[in-house]
Chain A
């Protein structure tokens, strides 16, 4: 009996060693697979998108053996901390709030946010500049926010949970709007199209992509947002204690920018050059 127990223990130990023998150059990258065109899934369930292709390129450059791990958005950062994967590439903007918990590589792409409504909405034709930067915009940005506050009073706005877009709405910069949070951007789009929410806030490309694929009359309104609560571009999220990996990613992103790979992929997936 005792021998059997020992055998049992040692086989468990052997299995544990077998599974934990992670090669030094293997990297697991977490992504959502539900935020087109950044990262999404095709009909067969394969991950596709700007970040999926960029990740592949970076991994080849880093000579790393990469696996993409799917993770729901609301558990993205906890999943990184709990070592389900070693890096996040999920359209995640670099913000001060997130920097308290994790590190970011340098930004690889710029994400501008925008409000979207259904065609015919009373919010169309707001008198605001084309784009505002909350960090550097100064008076013009303040004036635009005032216009928005007046226009959005009493409106219900949908956002994906745990995003910069939710943070922005909760910051009170556009007054006290009614916020509805969704697990995925798909669900935000569905409820926008169904008329349950008056407007939605997300990456501008998320709406243009949806409008194009669904044929629904979703239009962007108001200015595009950047800076402030919207962070400073999208980067690779990495655990604070993982300085070596951070360095590797930074070098690889540098290279990808220099040789035009990021621009090329951005034009392919976004229709314009969002590299930074």
Chain B
């Protein structure tokens, strides 16, 4: 392990980590909405909506993220009608393709996390809310959602970490994220050990931050 060599390339890797953070945060942000949306469909009364949500989560959790990102990036680009439609503005760029793939993937996992959180809410609490005359909307936003968020925090923290690491696949669609730049440096210096150790440490640092944020939130929203 050549420390000087590692330090020399650290700035470039840190700069690339910015894109990794960006991809992670954007995907998680959109993913929460997708996740909550499909979790509501799953816990609602409609059979059709239930199955739509069920199969969405089934497909995206049942296939590798790499395959999903390849289908969205390389696969869709093969279809002429997609290239001629307005969607192409969006799908032409590797950046938006990566965000789309990551959002749909994390959305599927989050929907399962939120669904189980909704399902564990004590019936008595809902009944109490109804008894107090709260409207359905109010019950959802003021009672169900806060409890569900608290319930899902540990599992969701896990999902955030998985997503962070998942963004390394952005390098397969030409994006120069942390992994992409690490590979690039290796391909010109032929020294994988140092570069991967530095890149790995940066990932570890980011995971450390997520881990502690979740821990703090868990403490803050400890209702029990």
- With a cutoff of 8 Å between Cβ atoms, the chain B residues found around residue A74 in the complex are 183, 186-187
In the complex, per-residue mask of A217-234: 1 if CB is within 8 Å of any chain B CB, else 0? 000000000000000000
Shortest B100–chain A CB gap in Å is 15
- Cα-based distance from A181 to B83 in the complex (angstroms): 21
- With a cutoff of 8 Å between Cβ atoms, the chain B residues found around residue A162 in the complex are 184, 187-188
In the complex, per-residue mask of A167-202: 1 if CB is within 8 Å of any chain B CB, else 0? 000000000000011110001001100111000000
Q: Contacting chain B: which of A19-27, A75-83, A105-113, A259-267?
A: A75-83
Known contacts A195-B83, A196-B77, A182 near B174 by CB under 8 Å = yes
* B74 at interface by CB-CB < 8 Å: yes
- Cα-based distance from A183 to B78 in the complex (angstroms): 18
Using CB atoms, name the residue of chain B closest to A186: B74
* A56 at interface by CB-CB < 8 Å: no
Cβ–Cβ contact B83 & A77, under 8 A = no
* A10 at interface by CB-CB < 8 Å: no
Shortest B81–chain A CB gap in Å is 13
In the complex, per-residue mask of B50-89: 1 if CB is within 8 Å of any chain A CB, else 0? 0000000000000000000000001001100001000000
Cβ–Cβ contact A194 & B78, under 8 A = yes
- Cα-based distance from A101 to B187 in the complex (angstroms): 12
* A161 at interface by CB-CB < 8 Å: yes
* B211 at interface by CB-CB < 8 Å: no
Interface size on A, residues (CB 8 A): 20
Cβ–Cβ contact A181 & B174, under 8 A = yes
- Cα-based distance from A195 to B184 in the complex (angstroms): 24
* B92 at interface by CB-CB < 8 Å: yes
Cβ–Cβ contact B188 & A75, under 8 A = no
- Cα-based distance from A187 to B188 in the complex (angstroms): 20
Q: When the two chains form the complex, which single residue of A77, A180, A191 contacts B77, counting CB atoms closer than 8 Å? A: A191
- Cα-based distance from A75 to B92 in the complex (angstroms): 28
Size range of the chain B interface in the assembly: 10 to 19
Known contacts A180-B174, A194-B78, A78 near B186 by CB under 8 Å = yes
- With a cutoff of 8 Å between Cβ atoms, the chain B residues found around residue A158 in the complex are 174
- With a cutoff of 8 Å between Cβ atoms, the chain A residues found around residue B190 in the complex are 77-78, 81, 101
Cβ–Cβ contact B184 & A194, under 8 A = no
- With a cutoff of 8 Å between Cβ atoms, the chain B residues found around residue A183 in the complex are 172
In the complex, per-residue mask of B143-172: 1 if CB is within 8 Å of any chain A CB, else 0? 000000000000000000000000000001
Using CB atoms, name the residue of chain A closest to B175: A180
- With a cutoff of 8 Å between Cβ atoms, the chain B residues found around residue A101 in the complex are 190
In the complex, per-residue mask of A72-113: 1 if CB is within 8 Å of any chain B CB, else 0? 001101100100000000000000010001000000000000
- With a cutoff of 8 Å between Cβ atoms, the chain A residues found around residue B77 in the complex are 190-191, 194, 196
- Cα-based distance from A75 to B185 in the complex (angstroms): 11
Known contacts A161-B183, A161-B184, A182-B174, A78 near B192 by CB under 8 Å = yes
Cβ–Cβ contact A161 & B187, under 8 A = yes
Using CB atoms, name the residue of chain A closest to B97: A196
Using CB atoms, name the residue of chain A closest to B171: A183
- Cα-based distance from A181 to B183 in the complex (angstroms): 11
Known contacts A75-B192, A78-B192, A181-B174, A194 near B187 by CB under 8 Å = no
- With a cutoff of 8 Å between Cβ atoms, the chain A residues found around residue B188 in the complex are 97, 162
- With a cutoff of 8 Å between Cβ atoms, the chain A residues found around residue B172 in the complex are 183
Shortest A204–chain B CB gap in Å is 22
- With a cutoff of 8 Å between Cβ atoms, the chain A residues found around residue B92 in the complex are 195-196
- With a cutoff of 8 Å between Cβ atoms, the chain A residues found around residue B192 in the complex are 75, 78
Shortest B161–chain A CB gap in Å is 25
Cβ–Cβ contact B184 & A181, under 8 A = yes
- Cα-based distance from A183 to B83 in the complex (angstroms): 23
Which chain B residues numbered 162 to 208 have a C-beta less than 8 Å away from chain A?
172, 174, 176, 183-184, 186-188, 190-192
* A to B CB contacts below 8 Å, 11 in the list: A74-B183, A78-B190, A78-B191, A161-B183, A161-B187, A181-B174, A182-B174, A187-B74, A190-B78, A194-B74, A195-B92
Given contacts A161-B187, A191-B77, 19 further A-B contacts (CB under 8 A): A74-B183, A75-B186, A75-B192, A78-B191, A81-B190, A97-B188, A161-B183, A161-B184, A162-B187, A162-B188, A181-B174, A181-B176, A190-B74, A190-B78, A191-B74, A194-B78, A194-B83, A195-B83, A196-B94
**9 nearest CB pairs, A to B:** A162-B187, A194-B77, A180-B174, A77-B190, A74-B187, A101-B190, A78-B192, A78-B190, A190-B74
